[in-house]
Amino acid sequence: MRTKTLFTLGLLITAISLTAQNPLLIPGTLSGTEFNLNLQNGTYQFYSGINTTTMGANGNILGPTLIMQKGDFVDITVNNNIDDTTTIHWHGMHVSASNDGGPHTTIAPGASWNPQFTVMDKAGTYWYHPHLHMKTNEHVSKGIAGMIIVRDDEEAALDLPRTYGVDDFPLVIQTKDFDADKQIVTPSNSDDVIMVNATINPVLAVPAQVVRFRLLNGSSQRVFKIGLSNNLTFYQIGSDGGLLSEPVALTRLQMAPGERAELLIDFTGMDGQTVQLMSYAAEFPNGIYGATYPGMNQSMTLDGYNPNALNGSNFNIIAFSVGAPNGNPVTAIPDALVEVTPIPEGDADVTRDLTFSPEVMGPDQLNGNFLINGLSFDMDVINYTIQLNDTEIWSITNQSAIAHPFHIHDVQFFVLDRDGNPPPASEQGRKDVILIQPQETVRFITKFEDFANDDVPYMYHCHMLVHEDGGMMLQFEVVDQTTGLEDVEFGENELVLFPNPLTDGVLTLRTSGEHAGIVAYEVYNLTGSSLLDVKPGGVVREVKINMGGFPEGLYFIKVTTGNETVTKRIVLQ
């Protein structure tokens, strides 16, 4: 066993010396409460001397790291200068749907968008990227993506490395496909170039002490199995939505597209050595994008996938070249981090069952498209209406032959189980992406708080961008119907609207009391368009409104009686 390890290391060292190494690009930072992002076209030399056409934010490639403080009210201006409509989504952050930057919140070429929100998230590593329907992959692959670091008092109280670019480094890990002219190809299943922060064959000088890395799998499709070349133990301290309760000692960590992980590596005493961060993709079972065969069944092929040196083999991601410790080193891995309080299963108000399936069965199924509950994305259909403050369990079964990373906007969730078994420690923190293997059922629990009744929905989708663009995405809205459930007293009249939610399409308005009576009513949709405007004639005590022909969602009913006007919300299901 020992001989084999040494032999493998020897091969690695040979391989490393054959490729020129490039110093890792460290994206600049923006901090404070006002942020400006200029989305632009550009060119960038992934290969020295060759210009590749790219897109970036405030530069030719990627975007600045945004450093935000929990509790701050931030004001962001996004200027779109890329000659194409796009959007910018704050992945993992808990913001209202209209600030979330999903596919409905488009920014036309030459236009600006100005989201403003209070940072409510725990200290952690989030990210931003375009989210235009059917163009997400192109805009991300061409280069628009950036990290968001949220800081808070809880994290600040811990003895952790946190000096950006000194002992705390962002690692945006991506694969791309370049054509013969070194231009980026999308969509593609032939992504055979691995890079970190847009640097191919990167090397990073690190101090001989505890160093923090914020990893983001920003790839369009590829899953990584992160490990270190010498099987050195590393410590995961954070998952998608912030810090774990305690560091988890690991030698491997699976990371699917969209997932983040904060790691500590203790380089103490390793001055002069080089350590490779690798993907041990040879360890993947089939049925995962990154394995030798991307489908469970080897006869299933994915166009363009093989041959590719990254599929099913171990490869280097970045070399860490260890130098002298710096000024104020952190020298120990902390014993404990923050309090993580998972939501108890018994708190759930609703359980939803979801399935992933291929649109076409059989050996060609990996080429897509893929469906959620048999459905494909439709901008005009709200798939779920969720009650504000409800706790829900989502039970997701993958009936397709390839693993899909599921992502939901608005919330962070806790994984309850994978096929009935508790998740590994690295998945016991707050998450917003979870990889679901073929034939596997994953259940998570989450609570929909703070934001409701917006005029655009939130997304839930596969974070393989080729699948997402192909329609493996649905949408939900959160509604606060509490006002609609109660009888409202106004003047001497009493008005009741029922049932709410409205399930059979017929809404009844009824008044009682001495002078009660309805003289007019209007029905509005979320965008404020009037759909019905009726004066029944005279004063009536009860009217029935047939809303059965309207799309599901939230409506406002404005009712005028003899002496007052009241507007109430109704959910049509």
Closest to Cu ion by CB, 402 vs 572, is 402
Residues 90-119, mask of contacts with Cu ion (x by CB under 5 A): -x----------------------------
Number of residues this chain uses to bind ligand C2O (CB under 6 A): 10
Closest to ligand C2O by CB, 176 vs 260, is 260
Residue type, 352: R
Q: Using CB distances below 5 to 8 A depending on partner kind, what does residue 464 bind out of Cu ion, ligand C2O, none? A: Cu ion
Of 467, 547, 556, 571, the one binding Cu ion (CB under 5 A) is 467
Q: Does residue 122 interact with Cu ion by CB under 5 A?
A: no
Closest to Cu ion by CB, 91 vs 443, is 91
Q: Does residue 404 interact with ligand C2O by CB under 6 A?
A: no
| Alpha-carbon span 301 to 291, nearest angstrom | 12
DSSP for residue 2: H
Q: Cα dihedral angle (421, 425, 430, 436), rounded to 10 degrees?
A: -50
Q: Does residue 431 interact with Cu ion by CB under 5 A?
A: no
| Alpha-carbon span 24 to 197, nearest angstrom | 7
Tokens found for residue 516: 């009660």
Residues 42-61, mask of contacts with Cu ion (x by CB under 5 A): --------------------
Q: Does residue 258 interact with ligand C2O by CB under 6 A?
A: yes
Contact indicator for 415, 386 with CB cutoff of 8 Å: no
| Alpha-carbon span 311 to 16, nearest angstrom | 19
Q: Does residue 464 interact with Cu ion by CB under 5 A?
A: yes
Contact indicator for 302, 335 with CB cutoff of 8 Å: no
Q: Does residue 104 interact with ligand C2O by CB under 6 A?
A: no
Place of tokens 């106004």: 490
Contact indicator for 385, 484 with CB cutoff of 8 Å: no
Q: Does residue 462 interact with Cu ion by CB under 5 A?
A: yes
Residues 436-475, mask of contacts with ligand C2O (x by CB under 6 A): -----------------------x-x-x------------
Contact indicator for 202, 158 with CB cutoff of 8 Å: no
Helix (H, G, I), strand (E, B) or coil at 4: helix
- What is the largest distance, in Å, between two alpha-carbon atoms of the chain? 95
Nearest residue relative to ligand C2O (C-beta): 91
Closest to Cu ion by CB, 159 vs 378, is 378
Contacts of 387 (CB under 8 A, 6+ apart): 349, 350, 448, 478, 479, 480, 481
Q: Using CB distances below 5 to 8 A depending on partner kind, what does residue 131 bind out of Cu ion, ligand C2O, none? A: ligand C2O
Q: Does residue 89 interact with ligand C2O by CB under 6 A?
A: yes
Q: How far is the CB of 473 from Cu ion (least distance, A)?
A: 10
Tokens found for residue 136: 């997400």
Q: Using CB distances below 5 to 8 A depending on partner kind, what does residue 404 bind out of Cu ion, ligand C2O, none? A: Cu ion
Of 104, 212, 260, 404, the one binding Cu ion (CB under 5 A) is 404
Contact indicator for 508, 477 with CB cutoff of 8 Å: no
Contact indicator for 519, 561 with CB cutoff of 8 Å: yes
Q: How far is the CB of 92 from Cu ion (least distance, A)?
A: 6
| Alpha-carbon span 65 to 70, nearest angstrom | 16
Q: Contact residues for ligand C2O (CB under 6 A)?
A: 89, 91, 129, 131, 258, 407, 409, 459, 461, 463
